[in-house]
């Protein structure tokens, strides 16, 4: 398939810059992938689509406050450092993006916080905006991470044209987030409230957790018309045996197995056994899913509404059927659904 097949007109006004007041009261579009039929609901109505022993697969990654603002030594110029991933915990080496990149060179020292709570040195260039930095910090790892918490800002995507607030710290995080390592939230999971989770549990729905640490590659634009030539960034994922067992039992019993979000889907599709079962894994994946694609594990998916020509839209189109999904997106624009991280949700059954 070609990149241009995933173009559609998305009015700027439909990009959600703030979450709805209650997590589970975002709008929900339900798409039947066999018939293409569409229903309009509220997210908590999802309860009506699941039965006892169905399984939801959740991504339990936790977003850390990855955006730091600091100053360059000597000039005092303000700089932004976006922490991508920790390369070496003992040496405090991090892979980062910097802005303005042209002014940040190897050997520069960077200072963060009013009283220079953290200091870092640039040790290498990785890409045009990418750098490797080493934090010069003598305290314990817990103290270091506490300082990152104090100084760091919730890494809202760039298209949200406002500063991150205290509310974002809570709302740009799923209620089941446990394992720190993501620089972007697995957004389909943001719609689950504690009450809704409890009601699903009472109904007998099982939950399996996977971890996929979402990287900035999630937002990287596709720049080639021929999709087979696009390369995804690698993301770390972990699936434990007990969670694989929950999923495989549901597959065997022909239950509904629902991937909550494109990140959960990427993780499980990266760990399929020869017998089409989910296997335990601790690995990195750069899997790029676009139509046509034969899914092995999930037969149901919850996702948000994604932007034109994004890899996320391509995965959803592979799952729900290209024609079905593009038609559903036309309806979503017409019905003024809210798009992207803080936007509304879609259930594909």
130 and 77 in one domain? yes
pLDDT at 289 over 80: yes
Whether residue 98 is found in the same domain as residue 185? no
Tens of pLDDT, residues 73-118: 777 789 999 998 889 989 999 999 998 888 888 999 999 988 888 9
Per-residue pLDDT tens over the stretch 115-128 = 888 999 999 988 77
Provide the domain limits for residue 95: 67-153
Same domain, 330 and 187: yes
In a domain, 159, yes or no: no
> What was the pLDDT predicted at 348?
98
**pLDDT of the residue at 126:** 84
Task: Let me know whether 239 and 282 are in one domain.
Answer: yes
Per-residue model confidence as pLDDT tens digits over 182-211: 989 999 999 999 999 999 999 999 999 999
Instruction: Clarify whether residues 143 and 176 are in a common domain.
Output: no
Same domain flag for 249 and 176: yes
Residues 83 and 206 in one domain: no
Domain count, the chain: 2
CATH number assigned to the domain comprising residue 276: 3.40.1780.10
Of the two residues 163 and 237, the one the predictor is more confident about is 237
Q: Which contacts (CB < 8 Å, 24+ apart) does range 155-161 have?
A: 155/63, 155/65, 155/66, 155/67, 155/82, 155/183, 155/184, 156/341, 157/184, 157/219, 157/340, 157/341, 158/219, 159/15, 159/307, 159/340, 160/17, 160/341, 160/342, 161/17
Q: Is residue 164 part of a domain?
A: no
Give the CATH number, domain containing residue 89: 2.40.10.240
| 216 & 280 share domain | yes
**158 part of a folded domain:** no
Q: What is the pLDDT of residue 237?
A: 96
pLDDT for 128: 74
Percent pLDDT > 90 in the chain is 82
Query: Rounded mean pLDDT of 128-147?
Result: 90
Instruction: Taking residues 41-67, report their average pLDDT.
Output: 96
For residue 211, give Cα distances in angstroms to 63, 292, 342: 12, 26, 21
Q: Please tell me whether residues 136 and 72 are part of one structural domain.
A: yes
The answer to whether residue 145 sits within a structural domain is yes
């Amino acid at each position: 398939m070609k990149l241009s097949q995933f173009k559609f007109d998305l009015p700027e006004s439909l990009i959600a810059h703030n979450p709805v007041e209650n997590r589970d009261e975002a709008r929900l579009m339900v798409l039947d992938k066999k018939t293409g039929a569409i229903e309009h609901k509220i997210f908590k109505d999802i309860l009506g689509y699941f039965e006892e022993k169905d399984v939801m697969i959740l991504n339990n990654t936790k977003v850390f406050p990855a955006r730091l603002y600091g100053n360059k030594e000597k000039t005092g110029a303000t700089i932004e450092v976006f922490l991508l991933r920790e390369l070496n915990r003992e040496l405090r080496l991090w892979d980062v993006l910097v802005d303005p990149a042209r002014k940040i060179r190897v050997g520069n020292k960077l200072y963060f916080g009013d009283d220079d709570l953290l200091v870092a040195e640039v040790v290498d260039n990785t890409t045009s905006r990418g750098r490797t930095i080493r934090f010069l910090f003598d305290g314990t790892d817990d103290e270091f991470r506490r300082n990152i918490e104090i100084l760091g800002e919730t890494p809202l995507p760039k298209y949200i044209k406002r500063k991150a607030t205290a509310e974002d710290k809570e709302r740009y995080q799923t209620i089941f987030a446990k394992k720190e390592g993501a620089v972007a939230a697995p957004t389909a999971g943001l719609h689950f409230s504690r009450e809704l989770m409890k009601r699903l549990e009472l109904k007998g729905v099982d939950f399996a957790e996977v971890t996929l640490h979402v990287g900035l590659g999630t937002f990287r634009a596709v720049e080639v018309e021929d999709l087979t030539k696009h390369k995804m960034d690698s993301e770390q994922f972990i699936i434990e045996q007990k969670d694989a067992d929950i999923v495989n039992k549901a597959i065997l019993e022909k239950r509904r197995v629902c991937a909550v979000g494109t990140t959960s889907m990427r993780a499980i599709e990266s760990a399929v056994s020869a017998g089409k079962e989910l296997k335990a894994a601790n690995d990195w994946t750069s899997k790029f899913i676009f139509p046509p694609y034969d899914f092995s594990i999930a037969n149901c998916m919850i996702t948000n509404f994604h932007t034109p020509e994004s890899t996320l839209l391509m995965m959803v189109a592979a799952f729900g059927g290209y024609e079905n999904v593009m038609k559903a997106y036309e309806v979503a624009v017409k019905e003024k659904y809210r798009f992207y991280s803080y936007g509304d949700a879609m259930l594909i059954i």
